[in-house]
Structure 1
Amino acid sequence: MSVEQAGVKQVSDAARPSKVQQLSGTILTPQGWVSGVISFAEKIESIQADLTPTNAKEAIYILPGFIDLHVHGAGGKDTMEADGAIEVISRMHAQHGTTSMLATTMTAPMSDLENALKALSSVCEQRQSGAARVLGVHLEGPYINPGKLGAQPDFAHAGSIEQVKHLNAIAPIKLITLAPEVEGNLSMVSQLTALGMRVQLGHTLGTYEDGVAALENGASSFTHLYNAMSRLDHRAPGMVGAALAHANFAEIIPDLLHVHPGAIKAALRAIPKLYCVTDSTSASGMPDGDYMLGRQVVHKCLGGVRLADGTLAGSTLTMDQALRNLVKIGLELDDASKRVSTYAADFLGLSDRGRLQQEAYADLVVLDRDLNLIAVYIEGEKIELEDA
């Protein structure tokens, strides 16, 4: 789909929803489930309980819109591209209930990162009609361990606070993934947090002690938990051990391919605010074949995305499927909802997203009893679903 085909346009102040809309159903609020009516324009105005009995077969669920903090692409487009790629990506994810997201870059030469952030800058400032809100950038590298690249290209190097400041001046960086054991990176963690950025540990061969030291210096999460990090052993706990023992937040890819359900359940017991990401690539929403992930060619086949050597290279997961997968492995719907929405908002310090309450943005998804999407609203705008 080209940008022209996508019909992208910016949401001007005049086009922002001003007329109050209402939906009725079983509504998930921070206080629990409410059977009633939610009223909203750009923001939620009220949630009123309705004592009228509901026909269970016709009941719908109204949940907070999904928040995805690790998005590389979709619809054949990659975030490292220019020429309207992010508009296509953010529109495709909106079709699956993602109401806000972080555009995620790849490890790359500085010139590539500069060009990518220039293309992301305008959509970070103003949401596109029909598209998810791009909250900012997740810089995944280049400050990672070259010995644990995963699907990242081989352009890793030690951290530079001046480089980060330079890139942040182009487009707002909200989150950075780095390897704390790389020389100079640990001392940079506190500098990054002082700039208001969140720091995640990932693509790392660091020890348990490296992870604990980074958390003590201000790091606050782990990138795609279990994947591309030193493993847990009972005598050498590794970065996974540091996460399970000490983290309050961590992201995980619940496509049931990157992480076994049993390992997801272990993380759920250990990490209070474990939240889900897609790590989606340009292959998301596309047929099997070859696609780009940064400078790498990846192949989509049988629902997975891999490099030529078989290494997993992101996913084709969407957040609505992530929710269904969590419920499939045994989570209650209210718990699953928090892990695809609320906890990601909490991690970024956003109190006006990821929850259905008065004065929060009217970011919401409407699901049937089988958890299929019926409708999506982003800041009060109803998104026209292509399959509806």
Structure 2
Amino acid sequence: MKITAKKVLTSAGWAEKQTVEVNKQHIVSIRQANDDELNQCLDGYLIPGFFDTQVNGGGGILFNATTSYEGICQMADAHLQYGTTSMLPTIITDNADVMAKAADAISACIAQQHPQIAGVHFEGPFLSVAKKGVHSAELIRPPSDRELAILCRKDIGRVLTTLAPEHTDAGLIRELVSENVVVALGHTNASYEQARAALDAGASGFTHLYNAMSAMTSRAPGVVGAALSDEDSFCGLIVDHHHVHPASARAAIRAKSAGRMMLVTDAMAHVGSSLTRMPFFDREIMRSGDKLTTADGTLAGSCLDMLGAVINTHRDLGFTLEQAVMMAAATPAAFMGLAQQQGSLAPGQQASMLLLDSASLQIRQTWLAGKAVNLPRRSES
């Protein structure tokens, strides 16, 4: 298969009138188009598909409530229409049985080589009650041997866990990292020093920067200060303008760079569905416009999609489209140790690509692992 486009975002930057050659699931070459190929040239921007490391739900499905292969497929389909070609289905703090069922469902996806499922994100339960957000305080707890064994399974792809370092021993972080678990700090009230110790032990990321973590002040940098001052770690950022003020988001991206800041949705079941109300443990999550909250006003994930995050970052925060796409594709792939397989358009990469309209930036065509995808019609937002 050959795809020729007027502008292609390669791993080296934008290139004009390029032909991308695909063999089965992978890109084999990107080169200047010849005259015959220019007759089939697509108008728009050809970019890599997006990689979302924090997907709680979509298509009316919440992963915690539907821990099955079929449920994951429904979530993945919902997010695919917004450009997410790779994702980590995310389990919010829950009991060990739910964690085990989630791992089994992810294992089935990996065994079936589902092209969108790169692994799993366990957001909790080893968190801080003081910074629990919408997580259930009753389910937050120290790690057990069973739960650690679930995190260290070798049949569930890449594993990301979010934990609070003030309640997790540095030795345990080292052990998890030695088992190829990616450790991020989040839902934490840790001091700067505690966060720094966790980074030194092998933690490499921060979950939804600013939200549910100790703030940065002049004399107490907190977790936010540890994140922004560290050159090597990665940060997730929810650019829906509800979780983080645009000025704060802009400052954080400038501090970290597009190579270390990644866009995430923290999406709930509402994405890709008409759902407005959803039961969540002993509460209810309600949608008002593009904002999700519980009855007391607590933010409860988002109804943001990755295309919306990219457009918000580009148009509202003022970063280039290339930078915004990097934060949605190459950077999360690098965070999860998958930079050699996905996240950019280059030979050897998985051929998951998007063609964006050059004016509206809406998706005109999607290719998933080398196959053109017919997406459902949707209203543009």
Same topology, TM > 0.5:
yes
Residues in 2 aligned to 1:133 and 1:168: alpha-carbon distance in whole angstroms: 21
Tell me which amino acid in the other structure corresponds to 1:330. Answer: G
Number of aligned residue pairs: 364
Residues in 2 aligned to 1:223 and 1:383: alpha-carbon distance in whole angstroms: 31
Q: Match of 1:227? A: 211
Q: Match of 2:350? A: 361
Q: Cα distance, 1:106 vs. partner?
A: 1.0
What pairs with 1:278-289 in structure 2 (closer than 5 Å)? 278-287=265-274, 289=276
| TM-score, with length taken from structure 1 | 0.89
Output one character per residue of 1:138-170: Cα deviation in whole Å (capped at 9) or x when no partner.
010000011211011221111345522235437
**1:253 and 2:238 are equivalent in the alignment:** yes
Which secondary structure state, in structure 1, belongs to the residue aligned with residue 299 of structure 2?
A: coil
Shift in CA distance, 148/203, structure 1 to aligned 2, threshold 3 Å: same
Q: Which runs of 5+ in 2 are unaligned?
A: none
Output one character per residue of 1:260-283: Cα deviation in whole Å (capped at 9) or x when no partner.
111111111211310011000011
Residues in 2 aligned to 1:381 and 1:292: alpha-carbon distance in whole angstroms: 36
Residues in 1 aligned to 2:113 and 2:83: alpha-carbon distance in whole angstroms: 15
Q: Which runs of 5+ in 1 are unaligned?
A: 1-19
**1:307 and 2:288 are equivalent in the alignment:** no
Select the residue among 305, 308, 313 that pairs with 1:326. Answer: 313
Select the residue among 66, 83, 102 that pairs with 1:116. Answer: 102
Tell me which amino acid in the other structure corresponds to 1:308. Answer: A
Output one character per residue of 1:118-146: Cα deviation in whole Å (capped at 9) or x when no partner.
23321132244xxx511111010000011
Tell me which amino acid in the other structure corresponds to 1:30. Answer: S
Residues in 2 aligned to 1:145 and 1:293: alpha-carbon distance in whole angstroms: 19
Shift in CA distance, 295/85, structure 1 to aligned 2, threshold 3 Å: farther
Select the residue among 125, 138, 142 that pairs with 1:142. Answer: 125
Output one character per residue of 1:55-83: Cα deviation in whole Å (capped at 9) or x when no partner.
9xx83100011000000001110111135
Tell me which amino acid in the other structure corresponds to 1:82. Answer: T
**1:177 and 2:159 are equivalent in the alignment:** no
Output one character per residue of 1:323-371: Cα deviation in whole Å (capped at 9) or x when no partner.
1111112011111110000000111111120010111110111101121
Q: Match of 1:78? A: 62
What pairs with 1:1-388 in structure 2 (closer than 5 Å)? 20-35=1-16, 36-41=18-23, 42-50=25-33, 59-80=43-64, 81-83=66-68, 84-128=70-114, 133-154=116-137, 155-160=139-144, 162-169=146-153, 171-172=156-157, 174-182=159-167, 184-248=168-232, 249-272=234-257, 273-287=260-274, 289-293=276-280, 296-328=283-315, 329-350=317-338, 351-369=340-358, 370-387=360-377
| TM-score, with length taken from structure 2 | 0.90
Residues in 2 aligned to 1:112 and 1:295: alpha-carbon distance in whole angstroms: 16
Deviates more, 1:106-115 or 1:194-203: 106-115
Tell me which amino acid in the other structure corresponds to 1:144. Answer: L
Tell whether the 8 Å contact from 2:131 to 2:212 is kept in structure 1 after alignment: yes
Which secondary structure state, in structure 1, belongs to the residue aligned with residue 310 of structure 2?
A: helix
> Aligned-residue CA RMSD in angstroms?
2.2
Which secondary structure state, in structure 1, belongs to the residue aligned with residue 20 of structure 2?
A: strand
Shift in CA distance, 101/242, structure 1 to aligned 2, threshold 3 Å: same
Q: Cα distance, 1:86 vs. partner?
A: 0.9
Shift in CA distance, 71/192, structure 1 to aligned 2, threshold 3 Å: same
Shift in CA distance, 294/253, structure 1 to aligned 2, threshold 3 Å: farther
Q: Match of 1:4? A: none
Tell whether the 8 Å contact from 1:288 to 1:302 is kept in structure 2 after alignment: no
Q: Cα distance, 1:254 vs. partner?
A: 0.9
